[in-house]
Amino acid sequence: MSAGIRRLDTVGMRAATAALVSAGTRISLVPTMGALHEGHASLIRRSRADGHATLVSVFVNPAQFGPTEDFGRYPRTHEADVELAASAGADMVWFPEVHDLYPSASVGVAGTPRLGVAGTMHVCAGPTGEVLCGASRPGFFDGVCTVVLKLFSLSRAHVAHFGEKDWQQLVLIRQMAREFHLGVVVRGEPIVREPDGLAMSSRNRYLQPEQRSTALALHRTIEFARARFAAGERSAARLEEALLGAWRAEESAAPRALRLDYLSLREPDTLMPAEQLAPATRLVLAAYLGDVRLIDNAPLGGGSTSASEGGGA
């Protein structure tokens, strides 16, 4: 399965990408935190289809975790990640060390990496990073933008692939590439879902069996919104009200098991609250199942959000 894939540290990756650039080969980066699943595989396949040398980075980035979050228990599955990356067609898997990416602020107390970006030079994501997920996770997008800038610089990537499940992240990375003139093309790929509609996520493996079925509330809410839009609803205020009603019914059906973080209709490129609904208007939502936080999103119009979306296998 993994014949030919190269497993690289930062020094090896730097040498490999320098040689590729010299040879005129285009490089696509697929930045991940590991625990790879079919969503990541779809990004890798897309890069291969473009004919680019495909580099998958695997790095659980301490700068995007808060002190009460799951940095310590975030799944590390390096062997399986290499296998999956190889089977999807990646050429290289890169495992940076913390000190490669954070040379002057790599450790905190007792040798553990410092969490967050406070006290370091970093990218401030600005107002678009302070809403939605950024409101629940202060500093999260500062940490994301900071590490992605470094991954771009070190990898010499021409193109980078991100999943649409992290829609706000995709918006911000595109904004960063444009604002900082990074010369990297940022591609978003559709969400890959389980057969029952749950968006694939590395954090799904935290879910207990009963949480796993409760988690379908997110996808049901998306389908409800899309059905209302298809039936002609064009008022953002009215649709949000209806969605909150539908969500309250979901919470009643799973008392104490499900808790909304946010649910909102947004302009797709700016994340400003939507006023007029359109097919591209994005429903974004986040919820807690116990202490597991899941996110999902979809446009109100366009193709289906069933399991086949974006699969491409």
Structure tokens at 243: 């969605």
Cβ atoms of 120 and 102 within 8 Å: the answer is yes
CA dist 145 and 201 (Å) reads: 20
Q: Which of 81, 38, 32 is nearest to 200 (CA)?
A: 38
- Residue reference for tokens 């310590």: 72
Cβ 260 to a copy of itself shortest distance, Å: 28
Q: Which of residues 115-134 bind a copy of itself (CB under 8 A)?
A: 117, 119-129
Q: Which of 80, 76, 36, 79 is nearest to 56 (CA)?
A: 36
Whichever of 4 and 24 has its CB closer to a copy of itself, that residue is 24
x/- binding map, residues 77-106, to a copy of itself, per CB under 8 A? -------------------------xxx--
Burial class (CB in 10 A: 0-12, 13-18, 19+), 230: exposed
Q: State whether the Cα torsion 148-185-28-48 is positive or negative.
A: positive
Q: Which helix (H) or strand (E) holds 223?
A: helix 216-230
8 binds a copy of itself (CB under 8 A): no
Whichever of 16 and 36 has its CB closer to a copy of itself, that residue is 16
308 binds a copy of itself (CB under 8 A): no
Cβ 148 to a copy of itself shortest distance, Å: 11
Cβ 175 to a copy of itself shortest distance, Å: 6
Q: Which of residues 144-183 bind a copy of itself (CB under 8 A)?
A: 145, 149-150, 153-154, 172, 175-176, 178-183
Cβ 131 to a copy of itself shortest distance, Å: 13
Whichever of 27 and 263 has its CB closer to a copy of itself, that residue is 27
Structure tokens at 218: 């997110």
Residues in contact with 8: Cβ distance below 8 Å, sequence separation at least 6, in sequence order: 16, 92, 93, 94, 95
Name the one range near a copy of itself by CB under 8 A: 37-45, 141-149, 197-205, 298-306. Answer: 141-149
Cβ 121 to a copy of itself shortest distance, Å: 4
Q: Which helix (H) or strand (E) holds 186?
A: strand 185-189
Whichever of 143 and 310 has its CB closer to a copy of itself, that residue is 143
Q: Which of residues 279-298 bind a copy of itself (CB under 8 A)?
A: none
Q: Which of 283, 134, 90, 264 is nearest to 199 (CA)?
A: 283
15 binds a copy of itself (CB under 8 A): no
Chain Cα centroid distance, residue 141: 11
Whichever of 90 and 149 has its CB closer to a copy of itself, that residue is 149
x/- binding map, residues 183-202, to a copy of itself, per CB under 8 A? x-------------------
Bridge-based pairing of strands 92-94 and 6-8 is parallel
Whichever of 182 and 307 has its CB closer to a copy of itself, that residue is 182
Cβ atoms of 191 and 167 within 8 Å: the answer is no
Indicate which residues carry an active-site annotation.
40
Cβ 34 to a copy of itself shortest distance, Å: 21
Q: State whether the Cα torsion 150-152-155-156 is positive or negative.
A: negative
Contacting residues toward a copy of itself, per CB under 8 A: 102-104, 117, 119-129, 142, 145, 149-150, 153-154, 172, 175-176, 178-183
